[in-house]
Amino acid sequence: MTPTDHVKLFIPGPVEISEKTFQAFRTPMIGHRSGDFKKLYAEIHPRLQTLFGTRQPVFISTSSAWGVMEGAIRNIVARKVLNCMNGAFSDKWFDVSKRCGKEAEALQAEWSQPILPGQVDAALAKGGFDAVTLIHNETSTGVKNPLKEIAAVVKKYPGVLLIVDTVSSFSTEAIPMDELGIDVLLTGSQKALALPPGMALFSVSEAAFERAATMKDRGYYFDFIEFKKNQADDMTPSTPVISHIYALRSKLDDIFTEGVEARYARHAKLNGIVHEWAKKNGFEFFAAEGYRSVSLTCVKNNQDVDVAAWIKALREKYRCVIDGGYGKIKGKTFRISNMGDETEATITALLGWLDDTLPS
Ligand SMILES: *Cc1c(COP(=O)(O)O)cnc(C)c1O
């Protein structure tokens, strides 16, 4: 494996984009109210539903994931939201809830620890809530929360809707929205889907549409009811990022050619290879055992390696980068992504380059 001609990203988003995807991205433009656009959306929609594990409509938002994360708060939270927090992205969601003028309560777990179903149960038992936010895969810490068990707890509370961010786990493992009873499931384009940043995908349950319809201040750009009305006609409320949708179609071709199950197995396998490498080199994992992401590895820098110098050397010698840790755990951790189109060959090459550039 030889280094790429550009700096290849092994950070947990954005990730490397294939030539094939870029080719699709530069497809000539079409009108967003044209038959060609409707055909394009209608063509990809069933495959999106399969990946979401839903019979509900799947929407395309011309925004990064945060747009839909904020939109979900505005469409769904009438009384009070419980924000499950155990990392940079989930902590921020609490702040966003308050900035939207909502009553919000923090369920804070230590970074590196999962949100446990019992904690959610205890919080909801106090009453007054009508929504919960959860990040499935906390990209900042590499913690994967027990989504299935938490969803089962939320189900016990009628009228409490579950909003789940799967930005860095979507398409790396099965997340069956309908079966789990998730009310809003959202993801972004630049992580596991290996598309450029700037597009988000989401789906909404019937209960969540009913709630949204009663909300007075849900705005326009992220109005779930507008999305629903437009999707029924294979369109989006405003001019969508058409280039991304062409790229998404190409990516869906890739995913279904590889096979969804094979794709999940590939992510698990590559993640396992990174884990073995970390152990072999005497590193520990930041995320608690049993709650580790399969799309990225957050390694604890228990050997006090100069991570910034390591990444600099990696970049100079092998034209690629890993991530040097997020926010308050910068330098104390580093993260290696195995999202997107990576293979055993590319991940093994990266690990060899990391060995070669490891500061002594
Ligand atoms: C990257 C990320 C986001 C934010 O995505 P943007 O594209 O910056 O809006 C949100 N949640 C998780 C879990 C992420 O990994």
Task: Tell me the CA–centroid distance for residue 360 and ligand 1, in Å.
Answer: 34
Beta carbon of 167 within 6 Å of any ligand 1 atom: yes
Same domain flag for 190 and 266: no
Nearest-angstrom CA–CA distance, 215 and 230: 19
Beta carbon of 188 within 6 Å of any ligand 1 atom: yes
Same domain flag for 81 and 144: yes
Ligand 1, pocket-test mutation among 89, 137, 190, 326, most atoms within 8 A of CB: 89
Same domain flag for 283 and 228: no
Residue 48 gets which letter from DSSP? H
Q: What is the pTM of this model?
A: 0.98
Same domain flag for 238 and 280: no
Residue 154 gets which letter from DSSP? H
Nearest-angstrom CA–CA distance, 60 and 203: 9
**Domain termination residue (choose one: 256, 286, 312):** 256
- Residue 335 corresponds to which tokens in the numbers above? 């993260």
Same domain flag for 78 and 225: yes
Q: pLDDT tier at 360 (50, 70, 90 boundaries)?
A: confident
Side-chain-side CA neighbours of 256 within 13 Å: the count stands at 12
Task: Tell me the CA–centroid distance for residue 107 and ligand 1, in Å.
Answer: 19
Same domain flag for 169 and 77: yes
* Residue pair 91/100 in contact by the 8 Å Cβ criterion: no
CB atoms within 10 A of CB 87: 27
Same domain flag for 89 and 155: yes
Tens digits of residue pLDDT in 37-69: 999 999 999 999 999 999 999 999 999 999 999
Same domain flag for 335 and 318: yes
Same domain flag for 75 and 181: yes
**Domain termination residue (choose one: 224, 256, 288):** 256
CATH number at 289 reads 3.90.1150.10
Same domain flag for 30 and 9: no
Q: pLDDT tier at 1 (50, 70, 90 boundaries)?
A: confident
Residue 286 is predicted with a pLDDT of 98
Beta bridge partners of 54: none
Nearest-angstrom CA–CA distance, 73 and 243: 28
**Domain termination residue (choose one: 229, 256, 283):** 256
Nearest-angstrom CA–CA distance, 358 and 360: 6
* Residue pair 196/241 in contact by the 8 Å Cβ criterion: no
Task: Tell me the CA–centroid distance for residue 12 and ligand 1, in Å.
Answer: 10
Range of the domain at 263: 3-16+259-357
Alpha helices by DSSP H, listed for 100-184, are: 117-125, 147-155, 177-180
What atom in ligand 1 is closest to the CA of residue 13? 1
Number of independent structural domains in the chain: 2
Beta carbon of 88 within 6 Å of any ligand 1 atom: no
Tens digits of residue pLDDT in 125-180: 999 999 999 999 999 999 999 999 999 999 999 999 999 999 999 999 999 999 99
Same domain flag for 170 and 291: no
Nearest-angstrom CA–CA distance, 22 and 30: 17
Instruction: Work out the mean pLDDT of the chain and round it to a whole number.
Output: 98
